[in-house]
């Protein structure tokens, strides 16, 4: 008996069929309006992916309110614009290398290669399945996504950002409500070098130790009466999504602790040439989130940062009316005279962010990306603010840049502003901090390689010795 799933085989079947190739998989999904969402196998990742799947189902399998009323009055059956075939969104998860390594501190994690940041440990295996057609989209916590994606992949959209701040969680039974109240020598757990670096400056009297693992594991370690930990620093958004916001005693924000790039936001990664999934995602993205996170990621990219680099950011965006441009009120307009490359049908989807003219009565499933036409575009203006810092891992050095707000007209200009902020940070001394971090990491990689070579030699010597013993004849002594 063969498997009922067309892209799997049954290893016990006598008449096994080969796994269909990529083109056949995609063709079968297109006929059924089926999309598979891939994610990591953590509780938080699954919950986040479930929210995105629910939003997509609501977007594609229901009508805008005005059309629902019209069709109810006419007595006609409801049509979701898909020829009567509903969209289906299933979720599949997998464990990544980053999930399996729960012991190495994040700032010491080695990348797969010198050109890939350590963040790729959480995305590489998922992206492989995306590219072969098994997954149609990947749902990530944006802060885990490398700023440079693999060829053939792109971020299709970002959903509305949750609270990006960090949160303080106190050991069950302790009365403290802030870091200021913790006694000298108290141990605070976190898996983030960014948090440790910044908090060491503000609280030199406290001890910060690495703690990784899923949320249940961390809470068990914290609340264990025998553990040394008095508190944890976690992302506010993750706690909220997991229904654990009641454990938060206070939020941490600038100037004490600037949050991570992309923290609180979810990204949907797709294949760059997948027009079907592009059309599916239209209407899901939240352009203020995309523009602010684009600026943050542009900054991090120039700083060559991964999840292990202590970069903190704060960003804010306010939409402006065209009439507001007559008085910029101290806001700079550095990109006014710069000509952007014209958008094409195969331009990265985020380049359309905030510019696609989506009318309330437009069906989200109406194709807007095709090889022959672009979606209708509009003008948009926004005031963007971005501050960023780079801090030495021991807290001894700290570079902070808080430029004036700028006027931006697109995602690309927001991203460019982030890149400009990073270049200024480097001029102010951030380069020296980042160079030291890279030196420490490379030294660790060298030591790891030496240990691996020694283990390999020892194993070969052991095999050789066992071979000599097995080939020898035993001498019988009377």
Contact 299, 261 (CB under 8 A): yes
DSSP string for 387-423: EEEEE-TTSS-EEEE-PPPEEE-SHHHHHHHHHHHHH
- As a whole number of angstroms, the distance between CA 107 and CA 308 comes to 4
Note if 144 is an active site residue.
yes
Contact 322, 385 (CB under 8 A): no
Ramachandran angles phi, psi of 387, nearest 5°: -120, 145
Contact 387, 313 (CB under 8 A): yes
Map residue 144 onto helix, strand or coil.
helix
DSSP string for 416-454: HHHHHHHHHHIIIIIHHHHHHHHHHHHHHHHHHHHHHHH
DSSP string for 55-68: HHHHHHSS--HHHH
Catalytic residue among 99, 136, 144, 274: 144
- As a whole number of angstroms, the distance between CA 140 and CA 46 comes to 10
Q: Beta-carbon neighbour count of residue 152 at 10 Å?
A: 13
> Where in the sequence numbering do the catalytic residues fall?
144
């Amino acid at each position: 008996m063969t498997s009922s799933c067309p892209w799997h085989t049954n290893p016990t079947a006598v008449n096994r069929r080969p796994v269909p190739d990529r083109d056949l998989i995609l063709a079968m999904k297109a006929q059924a309006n089926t999309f598979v969402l891939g994610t990591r196998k953590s509780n938080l990742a699954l919950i986040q992916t479930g929210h995105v799947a629910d939003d997509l189902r609501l977007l594609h399998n229901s009508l805008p309110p005005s059309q629902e009323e019209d069709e109810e009055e006419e007595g006609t059956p409801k049509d979701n614009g898909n020829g009567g075939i509903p969209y289906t969104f299933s979720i599949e998860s997998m464990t990544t290398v980053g999930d399996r390594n729960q012991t190495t501190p994040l700032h010491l994690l080695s990348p797969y290669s010198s050109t890939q940041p350590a963040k790729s440990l959480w995305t590489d295996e998922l992206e492989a399945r995306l590219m072969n057609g098994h997954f149609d989209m990947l749902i990530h916590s944006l802060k885990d996504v490398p700023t440079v994606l693999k060829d053939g992949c792109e971020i299709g959209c970002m959903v509305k950002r949750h609270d990006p701040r960090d949160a303080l969680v106190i050991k069950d039974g302790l009365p403290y409500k802030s870091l200021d109240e913790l006694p000298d020598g108290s141990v605070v757990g976190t898996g983030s070098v960014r948090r440790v670096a910044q908090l060491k400056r503000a609280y030199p009297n406290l001890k910060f130790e690495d703690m990784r693992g899923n949320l249940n594991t961390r809470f068990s370690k914290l609340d264990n009466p025998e553990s040394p930990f008095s508190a944890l620093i976690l992302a506010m958004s993750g706690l909220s999504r997991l229904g654990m916001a009641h454990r938060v005693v206070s939020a941490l924000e600038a100037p004490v602790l600037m949050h991570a790039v992309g923290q609180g936001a979810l990204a949907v990664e797709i294949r760059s040439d997948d027009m079907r999934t592009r059309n599916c995602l239209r209407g899901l993205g939240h352009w203020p989130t995309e523009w602010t996170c684009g600026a943050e990621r542009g900054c991090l990219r120039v700083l060559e940062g991964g999840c292990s680099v202590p970069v903190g950011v704060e960003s804010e965006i306010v939409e402006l009316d065209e009439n507001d441009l007559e008085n910029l009120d101290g806001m700079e307009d550095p990109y006014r005279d710069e000509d952007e490359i014209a958008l094409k049908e195969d331009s990265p989807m985020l380049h359309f962010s905030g510019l696609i003219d989506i009318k309330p009565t437009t069906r989200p499933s109406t194709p807007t990306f095709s090889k022959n036409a672009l979606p209708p575009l509009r003008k948009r203006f926004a005031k963007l603010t971005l501050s960023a810092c780079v801090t030495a891992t021991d807290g001894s050095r700290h570079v902070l840049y808080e430029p004036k707000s700028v006027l931006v007209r697109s995602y690309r200009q927001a991203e460019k502003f982030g890149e400009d902020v990073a270049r200024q940070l480097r001029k102010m001394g951030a380069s020296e901090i980042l160079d030291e971090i890279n030196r420490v990491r490379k030294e660790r990689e060298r030591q790891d390689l030496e240990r691996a070579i020694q283990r390999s030699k020892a194993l070969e010597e052991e095999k050789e010795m066992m071979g000599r013993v097995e080939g020898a004849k035993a001498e019988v002594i009377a």
